[in-house]
Structure 1
């Protein structure tokens, strides 16, 4: 007597496998694009950082640590990276101090005014970063710039302040460019905050400072931390704003890598600078992200 072969699995047990295959099939084009556009160029850049270079011999495909040793031993590169992170931290602090109250006011507006001012906040994102930075260069404009004239007319300063080719100018321009990211992050966190909680606190006798310290700040802090991660990452890796406002003599890591690639043609050293900046940002963002997740767990548990 013959025994019939078992029928293929069907029903609920086969559904997860079919769904998994469909998900992989849908994600495969995006995964291939990610590998081709991001992973492979990054791997080639890492490999390039271990090659040798000479003015007359060009790039030699050998495995050496000369570029990394030069970065580690020369204080010039340490100053470049310290300036990069210093400018990024200051720009992040400014956006947090100004962007959080701005997002809170935006959240309390009526629908019509909220839409208008949201468009105003997002307006800089609709303009090229180069155009925005050139606008700041015109406003700074040396001793006779509009910014210095306004500060002197209000009596805030007695002599013109240098903004072009200074870290101060870079921080101001970067803070303006990155402000929408902070405002949107804090505004998204404020969507979880019920305005009636503030009214209840007022009815129970809490003062404005107590409401801000005990109710508003704990709720918006995850948004501030998330926005700080975005602003810091974009500021530390920015190129156009430091290149225009800082100029040739006030370099950061991004402009340093650019000069090594296109001016001195020392591609291996430029690749080492770029890889080191990427690794530093990944470590900082990963640690900050862990802090944000822990903060979310404490607030919303």
Structure 2
């Protein structure tokens, strides 16, 4: 009997270290941040440990915060769409490569993840500046006469974030393609289906879970990104992450900064769960 009890408890003991780390690094800090968001703050009195909904009401009713959150989610949505348009075909091409070339190009895809996001974003700042390679190249080709405005614009932030996050989309879709039986494509081809029909009717429905997984990861990371919007967008183009940073370190209004961070978290969870439910309902046969 004692042996049976030990066997039943063994999984819990194995899970306990990871659970403690998760509690210490994720749950407890989030709980403290959520609690801080309900505190009061004054310029002269500082943080006051009194329960108040003032910070949340301000975020929900002030058009300034609405515009910043709308911009954050708009950028995240456009980055997600861009990574899907570029990453899904890349993942499919990656799957069709020979093993030798596939290993090389997998390293090319994963390689940027080994470089600091700050370094990559600074590289894009040099490329997208008015005297950068992109503008000078377009001028040299005669496509434009004056430099295009990429810095401190949403377009520049979207370009930089797409480059930073596209590996997550490619890897998610490629993992989904790995479970696809190549004989299905051959069967469809033998029945007279063209390349576009095979892609649309055979391959695409089966990789929807991978596309959805990649889209969720990219959207969440893009909506909460800090380095790329801060460097490319600058002070003129605030997003939710840079807003929380300013409230914490510039105005020192920690409760409002905590409320901004928690509002972003709650909004992301609601958007991701809601879109996930809709897509699963639409593609229920695929997920089954």
Calculate the TM-score normalised by the size of structure 1: 0.91
Q: Note the C-alpha offset of 1:195.
A: 2.1
Q: Which residue of 1 aligns with 2:170?
A: 183
Per the alignment, do residues 187 and 292 of structure 1 end up closer, same or farther by CA in structure 2, a change over 3 Å counting? farther
CA distance in 2, matches of 1:95, 1:201: 28
1:75 aligns with 2:70: no
2:201 paired residue among 211, 214, 237 = 214
Q: Which residue of 2 aligns with 1:225?
A: 212
Q: Note the C-alpha offset of 1:297.
A: 5.2
Report how many residues are paired: 288
Instruction: Give the conservation status (yes or no) of the 8 Å contact 1:222–1:296.
Output: no
CA distance in 1, matches of 2:24, 2:181: 45
Q: Which residue of 1 aligns with 2:226?
A: 239
Per the alignment, do residues 49 and 206 of structure 1 end up closer, same or farther by CA in structure 2, a change over 3 Å counting? same
1:99 aligns with 2:87: yes
Q: Which residue of 2 aligns with 1:25?
A: 13
Instruction: Give the conservation status (yes or no) of the 8 Å contact 2:88–2:170.
Output: yes
Q: Which residue of 1 aligns with 2:104?
A: 116
Larger Rg: 1
CA distance in 1, matches of 2:153, 2:67: 15
Q: Which of 156-165 and 29-38 deviates more?
A: 156-165
Give the match's secondary structure for 1:83: helix
Q: Which runs of 5+ in 2 are unaligned?
A: none
Q: Which runs of 5+ in 1 are unaligned?
A: 1-8
Q: Which residue of 2 aligns with 1:169?
A: 156
Q: Which residue of 2 aligns with 1:128?
A: 116
CA distance in 2, matches of 1:298, 1:219: 10
Q: Which residue of 2 aligns with 1:62?
A: 50
1:194-236 Cα distance to aligned partner (Å, 9 max, x none)? 2222222222211121111111111222111110000000011
Alignment of 1:286-297 (within 5 A): 286-291=273-278
Q: Which residue of 2 aligns with 1:89?
A: 77
